[in-house]
Structure 1
Amino acid sequence: MDLRNCRKILLSKSLQWYYLYEIFSILKKTARTGYYMYFMRRARMIGTQLILLEGMPSTGKTTNSRFIQVQLERNQINAEWIHEVAMPHPVLFFDEVGMTYDEFERFTERYPETAAILKRIAVFRKSTVGIHLPEIQWYYKDIIGGKAYQALTEFDVWNFPLEVYQKFALEKWMHFAEKAMEDQEKVYIIDSAIFQFQIFMFLFKNKNYQELQSFISQMEDIIQPLNPCLIFFYRENTEATIEYLEKDRGTSYLDYIWHRDKDQPYYSGKPEGAEGFKQFLRDYANMANSLFHSCKTNKISLEISNGKWTFLEDEILSFLGIDRKPGPIAFPKSGIYKNEALGYIIRVDGLSITDPTGQNRTLLPKKYNEFYVDWLPTVLRFEDHKIIISGSQICEQWTTKGMIYDRMEL
């Protein structure tokens, strides 16, 4: 048997388990130990390319997304965590322009000064075009001019009618799935995407559960070739989650969210301020629970009220079929690091940093000179008196991949 062909067969999602033993036996008898060990890792794992995490706000989606990514990588599995506010996001729409091909052509004809830039940075899907607005704002706004930029914002997908949004969303998920299948050795971790974002979009428009469930079912069909799995976090008492969220982030945060979205049809006739958002969260919880039970993918639900996270982490690892692996012992070089171009500063003190927004964050060693940043998909790589940003970018510009921060001499 040709080992290369054998490897392709093993990665096929349609392979039945009873074939694995015979193929592993053939591989084990060969000198290709690297192949054998790789297949053993993949066979023990659940076999997914897509891990979805869902639950209400403040149920641990972000924290556990990072935990899963770290443990997958420590188990020698290539993994990427796509944060809820990753920029640009491969399946969601935060500050993203959406156009049809005809609209894109008409726009670049009307604003020819934008054509070269937009054609270079846009994502061209089957029938739609996506443009990351923050990238335009950060790097090209002065070039294209304020008038063209303002015209672009009129195509923000967040403001689309729901039926138009659904078309763009399904095509974006399809584009992601097709790209993901090109590298079957990579596992993606995505939080708050298949339930949370969609619940917001549908609840805002006062749509019923059946319409939402039908839409998400279409998404499930699109990602099925990735053999997705779902991890759902919840508290039996929804009010306990709302109380935790208010205590953790403050009543002002709940007021802010209500004020941001108060013009949505959902809030018509609802209480104002924090109380209005609390009602939204109750309706959100009902929809999310129903979606979990109707979901056709491999799934697990975790009740988190007792706060015993080590036990819950073990449940996650068991579900995924991987072992808990310890990380290296390493410490970065403390000091103040500055990006001269933008004036951003990162203060490093052992395994703690203060990021350019003033947030204090914990570092977790990845390698002797690379460190995960708590709560973010960002990685700091320390090289020759400087920090180089790697990992994935979020909506904050300081996390831009490849950005360099030089150590300042005191």
Structure 2
Amino acid sequence: MRSKLVLIEGMPGCGKTTTAQLVHEIFTEVNITSQLFLEGNLEHPADYDGVAFFKKTECDELLNTHRKFKDLLSNLMIQQDNDYFLEYRKIKNEVWSSFPAELHHAVFKHDIYELPLDQNRKLITERWKKFADRVLYGADTFVFDCCFIQNPVTIGMIKHGAKKEEVISYVIELATIVERLNPLLIYVQQNDLDHSFKKAVKERPQEWSEGFIEYYTNQGYGKEQNYKGLDGALQVLKARRELEEEIFNRLNITKIKVDNSSYNKNDYKEVLEGILSE
């Protein structure tokens, strides 16, 4: 059975997005229908981005606290049994900007990636199960950029400072869920983590690096280690790399590491073509 799911993972700045795009391009060239979902895609079929979660009591509290927007919020809420989801990043800018700061904060603190780890894991694994059920007998191949290992590690280790085994078991649970899709994990590596990360910092907008450093050093593992600034974020990244290495070794799915240190797109595409043709 050909893999119905290709998972692209690796450290920031290593070329995950480029890899995912090339994999999708290669599939297209050989007439394999694939669907590409990059980081931040609000239509992701197995992940949540910009989605807040509320239990019924929490939803009622939100609506009663912000009565002026009660009807609008009620119409935007997606109900599943006694749970409510608000895809707040999909709300039109003019509507979202009309909300007061207190309402923005009230919604954001319920973002699925701001929740306690156990609650996040429950919601994410349920979504992956629904995805696997839905696509199992379809013809398409799916290419996912960095939501398989990176997201559990980020919320587990980076945000909450969770124990290593808890984070590893989260990823292994996702792997078990999609096992029937015969997944292929492509882990992108760089020889020099310092160089690739600093290259990303230089090439991306300043607000990206500032937000990244704050996220990596002001909570969870980074805060516990008292890391500060760019160098502190790098130390957290190195610890993350060690954890992801262990996760990679313990996963019982088809997996391969690729070296993208040269940043030579044509040569790199040939390497990926060889992997995908096996």
Superposition TM-score, scaled by structure 2 size: 0.83
Residues 1-400 of structure 1 mapped to structure 2, 5 A cutoff: 47-100=2-55, 103-104=58-59, 112-114=70-72, 117-119=75-77, 122=78, 124=80, 128-138=83-93, 140-141=95-96, 146=100, 151-181=106-136, 184-204=138-158, 205-249=160-204, 254-268=209-223, 269-321=225-277
Q: What percent of counterpart residues are identical?
A: 18
The answer (yes or no) to whether the contact 1:128–1:168 under 8 Å persists in 2 is no
The answer (yes or no) to whether the contact 2:9–2:149 under 8 Å persists in 1 is yes
* 3-state DSSP of counterpart to 1:53: strand
Instruction: Give the distance between the partners of 1:107 and 1:250, measured in 2 at CA.
Output: 34
List alignment gaps of at least 5 residues for structure 2.
Answer: none
Q: Deviations over 1:37-59 (max 9, x none)?
A: xxxxxxxxxx1111100111111
Instruction: Give the distance between the partners of 1:154 and 1:303, measured in 2 at CA.
Output: 38
Q: Which amino acid aligns with 1:280?
A: V
The answer (yes or no) to whether the contact 1:77–1:186 under 8 Å persists in 2 is yes
Larger Rg: 1
The answer (yes or no) to whether the contact 2:217–2:226 under 8 Å persists in 1 is no
Q: Deviations over 1:272-298 (max 9, x none)?
A: 211111111111111122221112111
The answer (yes or no) to whether the contact 1:233–1:304 under 8 Å persists in 2 is yes
The answer (yes or no) to whether the contact 2:216–2:233 under 8 Å persists in 1 is no
Q: Which amino acid aligns with 2:34?
A: A
Q: Deviations over 1:218-268 (max 9, x none)?
A: 111111121111111112443443344345448885444213454313232
Instruction: Give the distance between the partners of 1:60 and 1:262, measured in 2 at CA.
Output: 23
Superposed displacement of residue 191, structure 1:
0.8
Aligned residues between the structures: 272
Q: Over the residues paired in the alignment, what is the CA RMSD in angstroms?
A: 3.0
The answer (yes or no) to whether the contact 1:88–1:132 under 8 Å persists in 2 is no
The answer (yes or no) to whether the contact 1:254–1:273 under 8 Å persists in 2 is no
Superposition TM-score, scaled by structure 1 size: 0.59
Structure with the greater relative contact order (CA < 8 A, sep ≥ 6): 1 or 2? 2
